[in-house]
Each structure stands twice: as structure tokens, then as C-alpha cells.
A and B are shown apart, each in its own frame.
Chain A
Amino acid sequence: MLDVTDLSVSYGTIRAVRGISFTVGKGELVSLLGANGAGKSSTIKCIAGALKAAGGSIALEGKDITAANPEQVIRAGLATVPETRDVFPDLTVAENLMLGAYIHRRDQAGNRQNLEKLHTLFPRLAERSGQAAGTLSGGEQQMLVIARALMARPSVLLLDEPSLGLAPAIVERIFEMIATLKQSGLTILLVEQNVNQALSVADRAYVMRLGAIVASGTADEIRSGSDLSAHYLGG
């Protein structure tokens, strides 16, 4: 579904990502793990089209999207939820969701149907529909950003650190919701620092360190792998 081959990302002379390769199969939930500065977010930004690749290729359903800009990537069917939790604070919750469906703006009936589905998944957003998004709590904003990405009806969803800065109870809820999304057949690439939570929902995982992939395998293999904590502790 999503094939990343030998991808490199540079900031000036600094290479943040050094030729990494990984795949996400249809309906799979794959997690990209690693400590701060491992190059996870750069990888995500590059796939989303917000950063240019210095080398390598990215393919979505066999179609090359390496050089695509952000608006082309979403049209190709890949939606991104950035770690910065970018709601449009001055727009209402409803307007945020409406913009999520920008690429389907000619299909209002389909959007309404999709919105209803999302409102049952996130009842909180239905209640706060007319409120400015900036007034929501952190957890609600995270849900809004995920729901907004789903309004685009993507075939692949990129989630960058959905648990960042949220209270444990809310993190729990977010991960329950990610599991629900996976059950519905959505293909998900989940970037996380929260290893245990990520592995509890992931089928497979890759571990990044200093811009390279240093381990990969099924969630169980990674969990039992003795070297994982070493990568986090920098050993």
C-alpha cells in the first residue's frame, strides 16, 4: 500500500533520515518507533509532501508520490495528522471538519454521511460543532484533527505522535479509537514515542535511531527484542 524505499531527508547539510526503507500493507497498522530526534517526524513530513526528499522514493498503491506536494498527496489518498495537532483555532469545529473534506467538496451527500459516521465515533465533536476549535481541550483537538483527516476518506492514515502531551486517560481513549479505525480496515502508519501503547495496537513495527532503521518485526518480536530499550536509552 505504502512503500518507502531508501528514503533520505536533509536539512541543509544535516541528514535527518539516512536511506530508510519500509512498507505498510493494506489494512495493516504499522508503527514507526524511536526516541526524539530519530528522524520519525521528518519521515512523516516527507511522505506528506511538506518536506522534499533528498533521495529514495515513496509509492502509494504503486503510484510514485516522492515529488508530490501536500495537496497532491492527500488527493492520492494519504492523509496526515501532524504531531503539532494543527487545528485551525479560529474556525469552528464544523468548519475544520468541512475543510477536511475539501477534496470531496462536490460530494456533499457523501460528506454528510461521513460526518455522521465520525460524529458517532467522536460524539464530543458533534456537541462542540459550533465552537471555535481553539477552545477545545488538547484531547478534543487531537480527536478533531484525526476526524478532519478522515473526512478526506483516505486509504492510508499517517498519525504522528497522537499521544504527545495528553493525559494518560485520554491517551488510552485515543488508542482505543485507533484500534477501532484499524478494525474498520483503514491502513495506518503510526509514529510514536509511547512504545507500549503503540505496540499494543500495531501489527508490525520499525525502530528508528539516528535517521536509520535499526530493528523491525512483528509487534511481539519487537516487544521481546532485547535491544529495543537500548535504542531508547541510547546504549
Chain B
Amino acid sequence: MAFAIQFVIDVLSLGGAYALMALGLVIIYGILRLVNFAYGELIMVAGYTMYLSSGSGLPWLVMATLAVGMAVLFGILTDYAAFRPVRAKSVTAVLITSFAFSNLLQNAALLFISPRPRNVPLPEIFSQTISIGGAITPVRNLITIAASIVLLAGVAFLMRKTTLGIAMRAAATNFTMARMLGVPANLIISSAFALSGFLAGVVGILWIGRIGTVVPGVGLEPLLVAFIATVIGGMRSLPGAVVGGFLLALIDTTLNYTLSQDLLKFRDAFTFSLVILILLWRPQGLIKGPASGQRT
């Protein structure tokens, strides 16, 4: 029983984080049909904001809010720096500019802060453990689960019940038609980047909370995870991103539990093999996104 509880908590907390990461990536992809390769750096920005504000004596929640705010700001900045100037020209151009922006931010962190890990302030509760039905688990896993539930519900509400969200879904299927109804293109795109930055910021704090330190390359793994989760779930579908995130977490956690010590270091190879199998079975991803739509 304790084992089962432990397993479920592990899957849900990892899956929640993966799902949020994937959602942040797919929101941009759905509207622009472009992968934002600078997405991982938003997580890095959140981490370094925490590190830089650690000496300020501010309450932790204020620092965390500041970190999320900076991720939002850099999300919008990504649009202005890497996407907007070349958006109309070519996919290749944006691919390169978003890589360049990612590199720029990473190197700025290397140069101005340090290549070495920096400590991120974390509240005591992040390192505490709790026993539930005999299973001992870090409290931060439960915080991650709670945060993912709140955020996933929040995003669902935004996308289904608000005019902005419905306009974003419409723009994701047919951008030109949405504009013909008076939906301003730039507002929609900036909102998508802001929302993506918000998710990256929150997930960044939770993610970095597992290790307690931030390095310039901290965003690489989340970007990869988000990318794989969206590919499994379906690149164009928001529910798909969430499903993909949880499925990937289920695979990872199962392998963590079942692989022997010797094989554990090859876990990613097993994960990716399974991902390939899933894609052979469903090349479109598990959930197909909106039918039509060309790149805008």
C-alpha cells in the first residue's frame, strides 16, 4: 500500500511539472506553429531571479512572485527579440533566432553570474518530508501536485471561459480569420508568450526546488521534456500536452522503480525507445489538435 501511494505521488508530482512545461511550449506552438527553443531559459531566468534576490531579505513568496514575473517579462521579450522581427519571413529564420536568443541568455548567465551552480533560496517546507499511509514523501512533491492542479484548472478556465482564451483557441486554428473578426494578432501572440512565461516561471521554481541550485543550462532538460511530452500528446492540442506530460512521467517513474542499478543510468534510452513506439503507433500524437490551419 505504502508503495502504491509513493508511486502515485511520484507520478503525479513529476507529471504535473511535465504537463505544465509542455503546456507552456504548446501554447506558443498552437498559435505560431513554431517551437520556442528559448523556453528553457525562462526557467533559468526564474531561477536566477530567485538567486539574485536571495540577499534582499524579502519574504520567500515575494521572491517567488518576482521570479515568475521576470519569466513572464522574458517570455514577452522572446516574442519581441526572436519572433516578431522575422515571424513573417521564414520558419528557418525563427528557428535560428529562438536558438540564438536561448544561447544569448545562457551565455549572459555564464558571463555575468557564474558557470557554477548557485543556491536558490527555498522555504523550509521544500525540504521537509511527510508520511502518508506509510509512504514517506517530500512535501514539495505535494506542493507540485497542488500547484499543477490549480494551474491546469486556471489555464482550462482561461481557455474555455474568457474572451481572450477563446480568441487564442480561435487564432490557433485560423489566425487570419480571427484577425478578420477584429482579434488583434499582436495581443494574442504576446498573451501566449506571457502565459508561456508564467507557466515556465512557476514550473521553474518547482523544478529548481528539487535540486536547490541553478546553473546556466538548467533549462535544457525541461525544454527537452516539454518537447517530448508535446510530441507524444500531439503538438497542437492543449489537453494533449497535459496527457503527454503525465504519460512521460509515468514512463520515467516506472523505469525508476523497475530498472536495476546498472540499467538506471540508461533510463533515458528506455524512455525514448518507448516514445518511438508510441509515435510509430500514433504519429500524430495521442490527441489530434485542431484540424486546419497554416502557419502565420
Contacts from A to B (Cβ < 8 Å): 48-50, 69-71, 73-75, 79-80, 82, 86, 88-91, 95, 98-100, 102-103, 105, 134, 148, 152
Contacts and interface: CB of A to CB of B under 8 A. Distances in A.
Nearest first, the 8 closest Cβ-Cβ pairs linking A and B are A103-B182, A70-B179, A86-B177, A74-B182, A88-B170, A70-B180, A102-B182, A90-B290
A65 to B, nearest CB: 13
B170 A71 contact: no
Given A86-B176, A99-B178, 5 more contacts: A70-B180, A71-B183, A74-B181, A86-B177, A90-B290
Contacts of A103: 181-182
B185 interface: yes
A80 B180 contact: yes
B173 A102 contact: no
A88 B163 contact: no
A89 B180 contact: no
How extensive is the interface on chain B, given as a class? 20 to 34
Contacts of A134: 291
A74 B180 contact: yes
Nearest to A70: B179
B163 A86 contact: no
Which applies to chain B's interface (DSSP): helix, strand, loop or mixed? helix
Contacts of B179: 49-50, 69-71
Contacts, number: 72
A49 to B, nearest CB: 8
A89 B182 contact: no
Contacts of B173: 88-91
Nearest to B175: A70
Contacts of B169: 88, 90-91
A217 to B, nearest CB: 30
Contact of A75 (B170, B182, B185): B182
Among B163, B174, B180, B183, chain A packs the most CB atoms within 10 A around the CB of: B180
A70 B188 CA distance: 14
A105 B163 contact: yes
B85 interface: no
B174 A88 contact: yes
A71 B169 CA distance: 17
Given A71-B185, A86-B174, A48 B180 contact: yes
A50 B185 CA distance: 12
A41 to B, nearest CB: 13
B292 interface: yes
A72 to B, nearest CB: 9
Nearest to A86: B177
Contacts of A91: 166, 169-170, 173
B181 A99 contact: yes
B177 A88 contact: yes
A102 B181 contact: yes
A82 B173 CA distance: 15
Contacts of B154: none
Contacts of B170: 88, 91, 95, 99
B167 interface: yes
A209 to B, nearest CB: 27
B180 A82 contact: yes
Nearest to A105: B163
A89 B292 contact: yes
Contacts of B167: 99, 102
B115 interface: no
